[in-house]
Amino acid sequence: MCGISWVQILSYLTFVIFAVGIASKVIKIYALPIHLRWELYPIPHEKAFSYGGSYFEEVDWWKRPREKNFLNFVKFLFIEILFVRVLYHNNRKMWHLSFPLHFGLYMVIGWLVLLFLAALLLALGLSNENGFILFLQGLATVLGVVGFVLAAVGCVGLIIRRATAEELQGYTAPIDYFNLIFILAVVVSGFIVWLFPDPHFLTTRGYIKSLITFSDAGPLGPGITLHITLFSLFIIYLPFTHMSHFVMKYFLWDKVLFEDDPNVRGGAVESRVAKVLNYKQTWSAPHMHAGGTWSETASRGVGNEEK
């Protein structure tokens, strides 16, 4: 462990903080109580998704087996995440900038995954000249370079649009520009790394291998060090910003907009509802009768004196 540099320590810390940050967000969501239904159609897992239909279209719907098309949901999610389809259909001007940013970042993630895979295989004993390693390295280079460029174009475009479009100006804060500039710095530094010190990302791959094997990373040079530092700081920052919508978007859809599970007698929903109906409410308006449980509140009539 004596050869571990501060950059490597930062990288390990980045991984841990990111994982803990995202996990804590997800755990917080799962820890929230069941909420009343608030779905919005069309819902991809419904069999009548094509026109936005639901099981409520059937007579005696509760007597029929519940059909959920999970594959359709996954398909919807995949297309939405990859291509930002809702934005494409509803705000084309924004999509022209947002899509390159997002797709560029996905390519950068792909670059990182491929480099990691190549580094792992090298650590397991494959040679530098192995055909599969060369293939991974070539593909990673293409993904990385194109990703850096796309994301940078998206960032610059969004900065300009936020600064010039009237409907966005009053709603764009310094922090929004800071976030975009931060991403820009990360991807531009990555592009510079490819351009000058590491045209095939071999040093970068070597660095990742050193992280896997807990060994000395060797000299990185100022360009790669700067890129790794910026990249790490951004990943540490990410879970604590609204940019974590890349994960939370799933919950907004799956747990709210597409959540149409009916309350069936003896079912899981019923027992979760029983629990929350025992929460005590303390709302102050006279008709609320603060201090009672929600169950008591619901079963209470309202007389004149209680308005």
Partner 1 sequence: MKKNNITVENISDPSIQMADIKPEDLMPLPYPYDTPDAQPPLKKLTDEQKEKYESDLDGFLALKLPKPETKEEEEQLVRQFLGGLKKLLSKENNWTFLMPLLMSLEYCAKCQTCNDACPVYISSGKKEIYRPTYRSEVLRRIVNKYLKRGGRAFAKFTGNEIDLNWKTIARLAELSYRCTVCRRCTQTCPIGVDNALITHELRKLFSQEMGIAPEELHEKGSVQQLEKGSSTGMIKQAFTDIIEFIEEEIEEKTGKKIKIPIDKKGADILLIHNAGEFLSWPENPGAFAIIFEEAGLNWTFSSEIAGYDGVNYGVWYDDAQLARVAVQHVKAAKELGVKKIVVGECGHAHKALMVIADRVLNEDLNIPRESCLPLLADIVVNEKIKLDPQKNNFPVTLHDPCNMVRLMGIVEPQRKILRKIAPQFREMSQQGVTNYCCGGGSGFAIMSSLNMPDWRITVSGRMKFKQILETFQDVIDPDIRKMVCAPCSNCKGSIRDIFEYYDAWEKTGIAYTGLADLIVNAMVDIKGPFIEWPDEM
CA 222 distance to own-chain centroid = 31
Amino acid present at 81: I
Rule CB under 8 A: which of 69-88 touch partner 1?
A: 80, 84, 86-87
Residue 125: strand, helix, or coil: coil
Name the residue nearer to partner 1 (CB basis): 162 or 209. 162
Rule CB under 8 A: which of 11-40 touch partner 1?
A: 29, 32-40
CB of 249 to partner 1, least distance (A): 5
* Token code pair at residue 173: 């804060």
**Does 301 interact with partner 1 (rule: CB under 8 A)?**
yes
**Does 286 interact with partner 1 (rule: CB under 8 A)?**
yes
C-beta separation of 245 from 23 below 8 A? no
> Residue 70: how many CB atoms within 10 A of its CB?
9
Name the residue nearer to partner 1 (CB basis): 221 or 291. 291
Name the residue nearer to partner 1 (CB basis): 200 or 280. 280
**Does 305 interact with partner 1 (rule: CB under 8 A)?**
no
Rule CB under 8 A: which of 149-188 touch partner 1?
A: 166-168, 170-176, 178
Specify burial of residue 271 (Cβ count, 10 A radius: 0-12, 13-18, 19+).
Answer: exposed
Cα separation, 46 vs 37, whole angstroms: 16
Residue from 212, 214, 283, 291 touching partner 1 (CB under 8 A): that is 283
Name which of 107, 102, 103, 111 is nearest 208 in CA terms.
111
**Does 240 interact with partner 1 (rule: CB under 8 A)?**
no
**Does 219 interact with partner 1 (rule: CB under 8 A)?**
no
Residue from 8, 21, 46, 100 touching partner 1 (CB under 8 A): that is 46
C-beta separation of 153 from 104 below 8 A? yes
Name the residue nearer to partner 1 (CB basis): 202 or 261. 261
